[in-house]
Chain A
C-alpha cells in the first residue's frame, strides 16, 4: 500500500463515521489500514505532517481526527 492509497482509505472511513464520531484512537486507524501498528504509524505520521489528520489530546490519551471536525475546534476558538 502506498501513502496515497492509505490516505484515501483513512479519509473515506473517517468521513463515513463523522456523524457519530470525530476522534479516533490509533488502533482504529491501524484497523482501517489493516496493518500492524508500527507499519501503520509511518503512514499516519505522514498524514499528520501533511495536515490530513490532526492530533487531539486529553492530556492522558491521544486521538486523531480530520482537521476542523468535532466540537472542539469551534468551541475553543482554535480555528487556524
Chain B
C-alpha cells in the first residue's frame, strides 16, 4: 500500500512510453523490502515521499522544492547541490534531498563493477535514484541528507578512484564523445584530451571563481555527437586539413548496391536503389562533389566538413590524414533567453599529446583571463562576446583575425580605426593642412 495516494502520477503510467513513475514505485518497493538487509542511512520511505511531493506539486501547479545552500564537501565549492522540500512535515523523507554530481569517466566508459559499486553506495547512503548522463552529462545521484555527503565523498575518492563533478560558477564536468576508442571518424583522441584537461583544471572544477558556469565539450568529428557546438562555452570539434580519402572501388560497390549506405542504418523500409547523385552529391551543402563517368571527385577546398557524404558511404570516404580540431566559443542552451551556437575561434589546431596539449591550454587560459576580468556576474562567455564584440575577444586572447571568423558580409559600412592603427594618429599639423585647403 503506497504511503501517499498519487492519482495524477498514476495517470502518467498509462501512456505508451516507459514511465519514471513506474521506476520510482519499483524503487520504493525495493527499499521497503530491503532484501539485502542494508542499514539504510536515509529514511526508508524517501522515494514514497518523493512521489508524494510530486503529486502535491501537480495538484498545486507549483513546485515544493527549494534549491541552493551551503552543503558541500570540504574544500569543494561544487559537486553537491542543496535541495530542500518546503513541506518537510508532510514529507519528512525528502526534507533534505541533496543532489550529488559525479564526474563521468571520459567517453562514459566504465565497468559494470564500477557502476555496481556506485549503485550500492547510493542504495546505502542515498535514495537509490540516479539520473545517468542527463543534460549535464555526468552521473547524477538524486537525494541524500547532509551528514551523508562527506561519507559518500570519502568512499568515492578513497576506494573508487572517483571524483565529484562540477556545479555552480565552476568549470563543469567536461564531456566528450567515445572518440577513437570506437569511432573511425574521430580526428583526435577526445578521451585523452578530455581527461587531461579535467586533471589539469581541478582548481577551476572544484573552486568557483568564474562569473558563471563554463562548459568544455569534445567532439571527435563534425558529427558533434555530444553537441558541443550548441551546448558548451568552449567546443573542440575534430577536423582535418587535407583531402577526404576516396576509395574508388568502394564507391562502385555502394553504387552497385553491394554495400549498404549509411552503415546499414535506416533499414526499416525499402528506400529503393541507392542513388549516389540524389542521396550524396546533390545534398552536399557547398556543391563540391561530382559523380561523372562512374567517378566521384571532391573539390576539397570548398568542403565545409558537413560529414554527410562520409556518413552515407563510410567505407568509400574517410576523413583526411592531417587531423586536429577547431575551437569554437560562446555557445549556450538556456531555456529562457534562447540558445546560441558557438562561434569559430581557432579554425585548426594540432591536438598534440606530446607537449601536453599546450596550444589548446594557451587558448583556454587566454579566454578565461578575459572572461574572469570582464564578465559580469552570471554572464556566460557567449553573452560577453555579444556585449563587447568578437573583435574585443580576439584582442584579449591575442589571436589575429582570419577570414574564417567572418560569419557574413558586414552590414555596417564604416571601419572604426584605432588611433595606433592610423599613421600620425588623430593629431594633424593644421598649417600643413591649410596649404592645400583654404578656410
Contact = CB atoms under 8 A, between A and B. Distances in A.
* Chains A and B come from one and the same complex: yes
Interface of A: 25-27, 36-38, 40-41, 44-45, 48-49, 54-62, 65, 72-73, 76-78
B170 interface: yes
Contacts of B96: 76-77
Interface string B96-108: 1001000000000
A54 B70 contact: yes
Interface residues of B, number: 35
Contacts of B70: 54-57, 65, 72-73, 78
A12 B207 CA distance: 23
B72 interface: yes
Contacts, number: 89
A76 B66 CA distance: 10
A72 to B, nearest CB: 6
B168 A61 contact: yes
Contacts of A48: 75, 77, 207
A45 B207 contact: yes
12 contacts: A25-B377, A26-B209, A27-B211, A41-B209, A45-B203, A45-B207, A55-B77, A57-B70, A60-B168, A61-B377, A62-B169, A62-B208
B69 interface: yes
B165 to A, nearest CB: 12
Contacts of B67: 58-59
Most buried by A among B96, B207, B369, B378: B207
B87 to A, nearest CB: 14
A41 B169 CA distance: 13
Contacts of B71: 78
Given A26-B208, A45-B207, A57 B377 contact: no
Given A36-B373, A59-B167, A49 B213 contact: no
Interface in B372-388: 372-373, 376-378
